[in-house]
Amino acid sequence: MFGVFTLNSFPLMFSKGGICSLLFLLLTLVNSAFPKQDFAEEIRFTNVQIFQKAVSEITHSIASELRTIEHDTIEVRVFSPHVFIEQQLIQSLQERSIVTALFSRARSNTIVWETYPTRTSVKYSKPFRMSFWGTRFIERFVSLSLTTTISRKQTGEVMFIGEKDWNAKDTIRWDDVNSIENLAFDITIGNKENISWMDEYVEPFVIIGTTAIVIFLFFTVRS
């Protein structure tokens, strides 16, 4: 029923072609069972941290276009319920040695910086494996658009007005999705696709069965 293994099979198994095929199969299985450690252990950022990076890069980009004068103070107004956006914007301005204030009553030459997010998005791809028995991964797509108006209080001069877009893509473990999101901020929650019972439990048996059939057919055909 399962075939008979005889001594006559040894020449076939240990022929040059048979040995190469077996080695290739073994290397494939080992690679599947043990994904690259450097990729699997790479530190990943949370969604909040990625949005903070986006705010920082957009802020630095806009600030580099401004021509301020000595003793200018920037009054920051961020129209968003997500406090980390405002905090990151202020921190990014301070990194450029710009004096900031919130709804300041400072001198008349204060610059008003008004910002509100027009688009925030976190999306995930379908789960996938790098190899047969490897860890499940997903691709993460994060987008942020900030509309900003910068003007002088005294003269009403508009120093900047426009929308800046920021996009990022990376690959993360499927099991890490819940830990990178923050339930306190809805913009950090993405559209997760659940793994079905069949994918979770049946798929490994299908893979093992397929591998066994391939090995069985290999020796059967050769004999």
pLDDT in tens, 105-128: 555 558 899 999 999 999 999 988
Summarize the confidence of residues 84-105 as an average pLDDT: 82
pLDDT for the residue numbered 2: 44
**Encoded tokens for 182:** 């923050």
Question: Residue type at 120?
Answer: T
Summarize the confidence of residues 146-151 as an average pLDDT: 96
Q: Would the pTM of this model clear 0.85, i.e. be above it?
A: no
Summarize the confidence of residues 12-39 as an average pLDDT: 51
Percent of the chain with pLDDT over 70: 62
Identify the residue with better confidence: 5 or 98: 98
Query: What's the 3-state SS for 177-222?
Result: HHHHCCCCCHHHCCCCCCCCHHHHHHHHHHHHHHHHHHHHHHHHHH
Reported residue count of the chain is: 223
Identify the residue with better confidence: 210 or 12: 210
The dihedral sign for the CA sequence 10, 15, 21, 26: positive
**Average pLDDT of the chain?**
77
Summarize the confidence of residues 67-75 as an average pLDDT: 79
Spatial contact of 78 and 113, defined as CB atoms under 8 Å apart: no
Question: Is residue 18's pLDDT more than 60?
Answer: no
Spatial contact of 113 and 76, defined as CB atoms under 8 Å apart: yes
Dihedral, 178, 45, 174, 27 alpha carbons, nearest 10: -150
In this prediction, residue 163 has a pLDDT band, given cuts at 50, 70 and 90, of very high
Question: Is residue 21's pLDDT more than 90?
Answer: no
pLDDT for the residue numbered 12: 45
pLDDT for the residue numbered 14: 46
Summarize the confidence of residues 18-34 as an average pLDDT: 53
Question: Is residue 3's pLDDT more than 70?
Answer: no
Percent of the chain with pLDDT over 90: 43
Block residue for tokens 């473990």: 173
Question: Is residue 27's pLDDT more than 70?
Answer: no
Pairing label, strands 111-124, 99-102 = unpaired
Map out the domains of the chain with their CATH numbers: 1-33+198-223 (no CATH), 44-192 (3.30.160)
Most confident of 31-40, 91-100, 204-213: 91-100
Identify the residue with better confidence: 170 or 105: 170
